[in-house]
Amino acid sequence: MSDTVKIVRTVSDLRKVTAKWRGRGHTIGLIPTMGALHSGHLSLVRLAKKKVDRAVVSIFVNPTQFAVNEDLSRYPRDEAGDLKKLAGADADLVWAPSVEEMYPEGHSTGIRAGSAAKDLEGVFRPQHFDGVATVCAKLFNQVTPDIAIFGEKDFQQLTVLRQMVRDLDMSLKLIGAPTKRDTDGLALSSRNAYLSLSERKVAPSLYAVISALAEDAANGADMLTTIANAKRKLTTAGFTKIDYVEIRDAETLEPGSTASGRPLRVLAACWLGKTRLIDNVAV
């Protein structure tokens, strides 16, 4: 394992590396990230290295997926730290384009995310998934990976991207990886860095509450009642605002019911002061 990882910043340099690999018959996996890496991100890199010969990690804080009132300007960035961590995880290449390289003057084409984008996050972050889908389509065209790995942490994002790959006949395979959590259950997230000490103590309740909700739903509890209970518990724990707590069909994200016999997912988003946390679990 090397103690450094090569970084490229232009599409043309990226293509030189990937062409060389392709010439040798190597398979390629892409792990798209926005940097400020934690062990959740690194678990995706390790998974990639089990499945393909070369792992490319993109680091790009994509402005088009942030609304004007969101945290783009304060989003944590630590490229030097990220490179060290990625060398330790045996990544083969970091793809870190500038905003100008990704969206040169005159860039105007985009993807309109499909039906899986309309609810949940889509209600609170209306343009978000169009931005995510467009940047991921560009990343897929730039890197031309055999596989791309995404975390279940962002379950709706994974669903929207699966829908895009299917609807647009993209030839890569998407792989979902389980959510890495801190020992107290809090899902690792770059945004956890925003939490104050007292907020950090409240934050694990989100996982505890949605896990209990998933168990109640699996045991046939009335959905509306048990969701209302979960919201009450979150407020009591100290969450300052709840955007949604929902039980959805795990494949389509349409409203789910235990009677359907289909896999279900609990998804939630709520606020601790100025920090918005999302999490989800299987029923």
Q: Which residues bind ligand AMP (CB under 6 A)?
A: 33-34, 40-41, 43-44, 150-151, 153-154, 177, 179-180, 187-190
* Residue (34 or 227) nearer to ligand AMP, CB: 34
Return d(Cα 5, Cα 2) in angstroms, integer.
7
Is 26 known to be catalytic? no
Instruction: Kindly state the smallest distance separating residue 93's Cβ from ligand AMP, in Å.
Output: 16
Residues 153 and 179: beta-carbon distance below 8 Å: yes
DSSP state letter for 186: P
* Residue (87 or 221) nearer to ligand AMP, CB: 87
Half-sphere exposure of 22 (CA within 13 A, CB side): 10
Return d(Cα 59, Cα 196) in angstroms, integer.
26
CA dist 211 → 133, 141, 154, 201 (Å)? 29, 37, 16, 18
* Residue (149 or 245) nearer to ligand AMP, CB: 149
* Residue (54 or 180) nearer to ligand AMP, CB: 180
Instruction: Kindly state the smallest distance separating residue 194's Cβ from ligand AMP, in Å.
Output: 13
Neighbours of 118 (CB within 10 A): 14
Beta strands in the chain (DSSP E): 6-8, 28-33, 54-59, 93-95, 147-151, 173-177, 241-249, 264-272, 275-282
* Residue (44 or 247) nearer to ligand AMP, CB: 44
Half-sphere exposure of 191 (CA within 13 A, CB side): 20
* Residue (150 or 239) nearer to ligand AMP, CB: 150
Which candidate in 26, 41, 107, 128 is catalytic? 41
Residue 246: strand, helix, or coil: strand
Return d(Cα 69, Cα 116) in angstroms, integer.
23
**For residue 212, what are its two tokens?**
């209990």
DSSP state letter for 242: E
Instruction: Kindly state the smallest distance separating residue 236's Cβ from ligand AMP, in Å.
Output: 25
Helix (H) or strand (E) holding 223: helix 223-237
Instruction: Kindly state the smallest distance separating residue 109's Cβ from ligand AMP, in Å.
Output: 22
Instruction: Kindly state the smallest distance separating residue 234's Cβ from ligand AMP, in Å.
Output: 20
Residue 109: strand, helix, or coil: coil
Instruction: Kindly state the smallest distance separating residue 37's Cβ from ligand AMP, in Å.
Output: 7
Q: Annotated catalytic sites, by residue?
A: 41
